[in-house]
Amino acid sequence: MSRIGKQPLQIPDKVKVAVEAGLVRVEGPKGKSSIPVPSRLAVALEGNRLEVTRGDESRESRSLHGLTRSLIHNMIEGVTRGYERVLEISGVGFKAEVRGKEIQFSIGFSHPVRFPLPEGVSAEWRELKAGDKQGEVVLKSHDKDLLGRTAAKVRALRPPEPYKGKGIKYAEETIRRKVGKTGAA
């Protein structure tokens, strides 16, 4: 049996979980989420414990067992604590400004780049001026998947280049730097 899938989920006091036919809904202080449950699996709610079980031992059922339990766990964590992703912006004159539901970037193009935030994601700009970094964009959401996809789209606006490290990168990301050309002696 799946080691992750067989672990029961403890539901915090502030979180409401509803199990319907083929759907699990989670609601908490940070927001609401829902996920479809594959027909091969069953989700049982007993008090403040949630358990995911599978009906057969087929390869597909085994692979979906741990995945479904992890997705439900991520939803519970998201509506309880929320998730955040930090993106560092570095480069001369590079900066961002949060305007309501969009971020306006100045990242070396001839025009400002506007990035509309999807529903459920909020952003914050922190000015740093420490070393090479100009500042950070902090993205927050209760949906881990949506947050990751949004952060990837923001990073794709100006990926970091290997010579000077200019661009937008994840805070925990390390850029492999290249040595530039040397002058003729």
Q: How much is the pLDDT for 129?
A: 67
What does the pLDDT average to over 139-164? Answer: 94
For the chain, what percent of residues have pLDDT higher than 90? Answer: 64
Mean pLDDT of the chain: 90
Which contiguous run of DSSP H or E holds residue 25? strand 23-28
Q: How much is the pLDDT for 133?
A: 66
pLDDT in tens, 90-100: 888 888 999 98
Give residue for tokens 């100006």: 158
Q: How much is the pLDDT for 181?
A: 81
Architecture of the domain defined by 83-170: Alpha-Beta Complex (3.90)
- Alpha helices by DSSP H, 4-161: 59-80, 144-157
The helix/strand/coil state of 82 is: coil
Angle, vertex CA 52, rays to CA 46 and CA 53, nearest 5: 110
Q: Which of 151, 7, 142, 27 is nearest to 68 (CA)?
A: 7
Are 105 and 58 contacting, i.e. CB atoms less than 8 angstroms apart? Answer: no
C-beta pairs of 109-118 under 8 Å, 24+ apart in sequence: 113/157, 113/158, 115/153, 115/154, 115/157, 117/150, 118/146, 118/150
All CATH 3.90.930.12 domain ranges of the chain, comma separated, are: 9-80, 83-170
Whether the predicted pLDDT of 68 surpasses 90? yes
Residue 148 region by backbone torsions, left for phi larger than 0, else alpha for psi between -120 and 50, else beta = alpha
Whether the predicted pLDDT of 1 surpasses 70? no
Q: Does domain 9-80 have CATH number 2.60.40.420?
A: no
pTM over 0.85: yes
For the chain, what percent of residues have pLDDT higher than 70? Answer: 95
Confidence of residue 164 (pLDDT cuts 50, 70, 90): confident
Give the DSSP letter of residue 146: H
Q: Which value, to the nearest 10 degrees, does the dihedral of the CA atoms of residues 101, 16, 73, 170 take?
A: 20
pLDDT in tens, 169-185: 999 988 888 888 876 65
Confidence of residue 141 (pLDDT cuts 50, 70, 90): very high
